[in-house]
Each structure stands twice: as structure tokens, then as C-alpha cells.
Structure 1
Amino acid sequence: MRPSRGPFLTVLIVVLLLLHGLPWWRLVLAPQWPTAATVAGTVLAVVALVGFPLAMFKGHGKAHHDGLAVLGDSWLGIIWQLFVWTIVGELLDLILAITGMHGPERNRWTAGVVLVWTALICGWGLWQARRIPPVRTVEIPMPRLGAGLDGLRLVMIADTHFGPINRARWSAGVVQRVNTLDPEILAHAGDLADGSVEMRRLQVAPLGNAEASLAKVYITGNHEYMSGAADWVTHMDGLGWTVLRNGHLIVERGGSRLAVAGIDDLTAKASGVPGHGADLDGALAGLDPDLPILLLAHQPKSVRMSAPAGVDLQISGHTHGGQMWPFHHIVRLEQGAVAGLSRHGERTMLYTSRGSGFWGPPFRIFAPNEITLLILRSSVPSNG
């Protein structure tokens, strides 16, 4: 028997009504604008309420209509910000009431500020999402790292999410910036693309020009398992990246060695893709226990198994730093980390990237993107 869709549809309808209804009530009806403005705002709210789910269904369904996907994703970001800042705007409304302003005038001031602020912050968020990510440099102590590898330059990108918006030029710009950093190890921590290889080939193509002197490694994220993971693994291998599917390689410099391991995303096993599934034991099998270990794991919460296994440094993406405030609170509850460096147990450090691209709404609000330069430091610096 198929599970009933009733509860899901009920929740969906309630969420849609809240997202659109609250801004309509507080920003259109309550201010008592002139009739023409009220009618126009109401028509827009109704069209958006009906059109938004249709655009999302058609855009992200089997047909993959990129134009509708962009329309739906963009509106999702805008209506979310309208909803959030409408709630925050109640504080302004309270302040105005305390100062003695009442009636439609107070509501118009509040609505006007919320509308202008939302327009400004969405414009800023669009720029933040579409720019070539700035470089964030972080030094990370790895006490077990040999002196010969002190100062190792590890460049990390993640969550490029090549999708409905053609970002081939952005992709080339990211690679150009990465190459200027002279990486010894270059890592892509998953969520490469949304869509098939055929659909996103041109956007991913510049990654074939990325350079690293010791290793260029890639792991799957959860979105690969919605977009043809097996094909993406083959494609990235063809572009010259070593795909770490529950495996490892050894890099060496100055007589010191480092194990670079990677696992499939935590969602891989449930995806049904044959042979895929996170297997940390398999990734670390056969390693000398004295070797320091760098682990690529797409989701930060994988540290719950990597720390007990003695991994020295785990690098992850997935969170986008929350992408659009205030989602970072939800992300922290689910993943345990949102961005930056954190310690887990006596040995394990976790670095969580805010990601290089974006997913869905083309906005980043209080969650800037990044290309990360991690400089690994030994407890015994090299003489060089």
C-alpha cells in the first residue's frame, strides 16, 4: 500500500500560505495603501502562491526545465526573506507605537522599511552568491604531521552546485583563482552539480584545468545521488581528479607522508546506486597507524565516526554556512557544525567550508562563499 500523501500536502499548503500570507497581510493590507497598490500587491501574492509550486515542480522534476527552476528558486529566496524580515519588522512597529505613531501611517512606515530592506539585502545576497569566492586562509595544527610536510598547502572547494543558472564563466574564474594559490593538494568536498553530466558538462569543464602538485581529489556529496552519481564519478576521473570512494592515497614531501582518504556521502547507501555507501573502515584499511590522516567527508557530522577512528583532520562542506540567514541555526542542530574550525576529541580537527557556490535560491545572506587555503602545520617545523 502506498503511503498517504495527505499529511505532506497539508504541511506544504500550510507552509505556502504562511510564507505568502504573512507578508501580504502586513505589507499589503495593513498599511491601507491606495486601492491600486493594494490590488496589485494582492494579485502578485495570489500569482506567486499558485505559480511558485508549479515552477518548482516543473523546474526540478523529471523535465528539468532550467528557466522555471531559476524562477522558482529565486522566488523561494525572495519570499523567505520577505517572511523573515516581516517578522523582524514587528520590532520596528513596536518602537513606532511606543513613540506615539498609530494607524495606517505606522504600518506604512514599517512596510516601507521591510520592503526596501528586503530588496537591498536580496541584491547584496545575489552579488555574494554569484561572485568568484574570496580566499579564506586558515592554519591548522596537525601534531602528527612530519616536518617535511610542514606548511603543506591544501586548497579546498565544495558545493559548487552547477545547476540551472549557467555558471561556466564563474567556474573558469574559480579555477583561475585556485591555480594562483599553488595548491599541493586540491580537494573538492562534494555537491559538484545538480543535473546530469550531459546537462552540466560545460559548467564543470574548467575543473579539468585545475592544478595541484601532489594530488587533486574529489568525493561525492548528497546531491550527486540525485543527479547520476556513477556518471559524475566517471566524468571527474576523466577530468584528471582522483575520486576517493572509500579509499585513500599517500602523498609525500621531504621524507614525510600523509594519508588522504575520502568516503562516499552518508546518503549514498540509501540512494540505491550499486556499490555506493559511506565506509570509513574501507577508506582507512591498510594504513600505517602512525600516518597522519586527512579525510574528505561531505557532511560535517561524519566526524562522529572519524574522531573515534583517529582521523587527524576532516574537511567537509554541505552546510553552505547556512546560505540564507537564519538557516544556520537549523544547520547547526542537524550537522553540529556550520563553518570554520572545530575540535572533536583529543586528536581530530574538523574544518567546515561555507562552500564555493550556492544551491537553489541564488542568494547568500550573512553566509559568504569561500575558496579555502588550509596550511597544515607540523608540531616540528621544517628547516626549509
Structure 2
Amino acid sequence: MSDLPLKIRVGIRDQWESPRAPIATCIDSLAKTLGYTISPQIQWSALYATLKDSFVDQGMFVSAVCRIGIAFYGRMLSRIEDKMMADWTDSLLDGMMKRETWVLKIEGHEDASTQRPLLTWDEDRGSFKIEIPKCKPPGNSIIEAGFDEDLDALFASPYVLSEPTIPLPPIPTQASTLQSSATPPPALPKIVVDGADDWTEVNDSGEPTSASTPPSPPSKSLDADPPSGRSPNPNPPTPSPPTQSPTTQSPTTQSPTKARPQSYGLQRPTKLFAGPTVNPVMTIDASGSRLVVHCSHEATLQQLGKYLNRWARIDYNDSLKRPMLTVQMIESAFFDDVIDTIVIEPTYSRGVTEPLNPTFILSFVEGVLGYKEEYTNGLRWILKLYPIRI
């Protein structure tokens, strides 16, 4: 944080990191009632770089972030203590019991059209996220009302994020196949010769029509016999090669040079690796007693993980009725808030040495998600996706 202005560093020390700060009191109060500590995480340098244009006074930047954090913890605590929100609290606890640690990530929002902070959550990462827009911070009433609206929408679908859709090509039906095969291609006009100089064009109905302009005769070789009544030219002119201006070049043959983008002009990793700018790459390692899937496209891993969890085989000999395989999503060590690994291993891994069968994973990745194999040695696979379909 050494690149931040002095006022902001002092504000972080006094208003955010101090154990006597109001935000610390709100965190402790919610943890005692909820049973889980939701620890805030902020990359201050990146947040200030995104929002600095909205704060003329640098001293107000940390205060505004603190107000937003206090509003989140306050609305969460108010809902949990409200008996009318018992069903919502039960749904929240059902989702949070899957992980021991939870965090609150506060980031900047590039879209300036949004007029209030947005709140979302992600069970796979064990995190809540607040995105602060690039505008003047609204009042506390607007922030709290907006958070209430976002908290109501957390469980609109059954406690999980919506699955990304995969557009697949339409399957041709028998009727469309017969219709396309029964439709003949358009007939081309036929041209026949009635002598050396007379040409007749026949239309589609078979009736001859006289052509207004006779076509040019076919080209002949210089060694071919000349027409009767004509003498061959003993010294035929040598055709000169076509000339082309050295400075003029056809635009279709020009290969434009694509400039390499600057690193500071690229999008953040959560958007750069999710869009069509880069081609997703996946590796599958089945050499050990667990399957490890690495992928640069997070939506691919989410789709794979949700499908495996939905249809997981349950071990009915287990008193807790847990799945026989555990599917764990791991956050990337390269970038913040990006999942790049799935680990699939037996729930009871003690004494298990046989490798897991990777065929279902390979079939799903290639058949459903559209990845293509680039290399394999029988235990490891490298696959790519052209283009992104998820």
C-alpha cells in the first residue's frame, strides 16, 4: 500500500484496521450471533485506482468504504435477529455450513451507470462480494435498502448460482432433411454452338433464345492450327508481365499488423479469461488417487463441478449420507477471486491407492463443453476450446 496517498493510509490504519474501529465492532457482533466470522478483504490499491475519480477529497475515501462495510454487517445482523426472517436465516446457514471460513470482498465496479453498491455471494468460493460503482457514494438509507434487496435475491434459485448455459447447434429433423434434399439446386443456363459464329442460348424451359452478345471464344495455344483462310503470324508478340505500382497494394492482400496490447489496458482477470479474448486451456491429471482438473476458464469448472455434485453417488453406509467422491473447487494462486482448479477425490481417501476413472470427465468436457484434445500420454491430457461456448 506504499503507492497510496498518505491520507488514505492513515484512514486505513485508524478506521479499518484498528480493533476499536466501528467496522471491527460490527464484525464481532455478527460473528457472535451467526456463528461464522465473515472477514473483510480489500485490495486498497486496486480499489482506489478504480474509484479515485469519484473522490475529490482523499480523506473521504476510506470513510465511504467503511460506511458500506458497516451497512453490510448491520443488515445481516438485523435479518438474523428478526424472527420474521427465520426461513431466510435457515437458508443462509444451510449454504454457509459447507465451508468453515467466509470472507467479504469489496471491489470497484467499472460500470458507472450503477448508482449504489451491489451485493452478491458465491458458495463455491465461500465469499460475499460488494462492488462499489464509480460514482459519488449514496446515503446510508439507499445503501441499506439496496443491500436488503440483494439479500432477498440471494436464494432466488435453490441456494446456488445459476448454471451457465451452453448453446449447442440445432439437431436437424427428418422433415428438414427431406425438404433440403428434395429442393434441387438452381439450374444454370446452357450454351450450345450452332456453327463457328452463331451462338444460341437455351433457357430453363428448353426453348432457344438468341444471345445479344456472343461470348468470347475459348483461348487457344500459340501452337494450335489457325482458322482456315488465315495465315499464322510468324513472330507473335510476347505478352508482357502485368505491371504493378510498387507503392500501390490491394487492400485484400494487405496483412494488417496487430499491435500488442499494453498490460495496463487489459481487463481484470475475472473478465479477461471469461471472454472471447483468450482461448480456454484445460489439463486433466489422472496419475494419482485423485483427479485434478486445471482450467483457465472458470465457467467451465463451475459447470463441471455443479454437474458432478448434482448427480453424485451417495454412500448409504455413511451415517451422514455423504457422496462417495468429494468435488473441491480451489481458488487460483495467480489472481484474486478466480477459480482455476477442481480436485476430485474419494471422501474416504485412507488406504485408497487406485486412480479414479477419468473417462466420464473426458467425455463430458469434449462432448458437452466442446473442448478438443491437443496432447495426452495416457495419464495427463491437454485440451483447448475454440471458440468459447460457455
Normalising by structure 1, we get a TM-score of 0.25
Higher relative contact order, chain-length normalized (CA < 8 Å, sep 6+): 1
Q: Answer with 1 or 2: which has the greater Rg.
A: 2
* More helix as a share of residues: 1
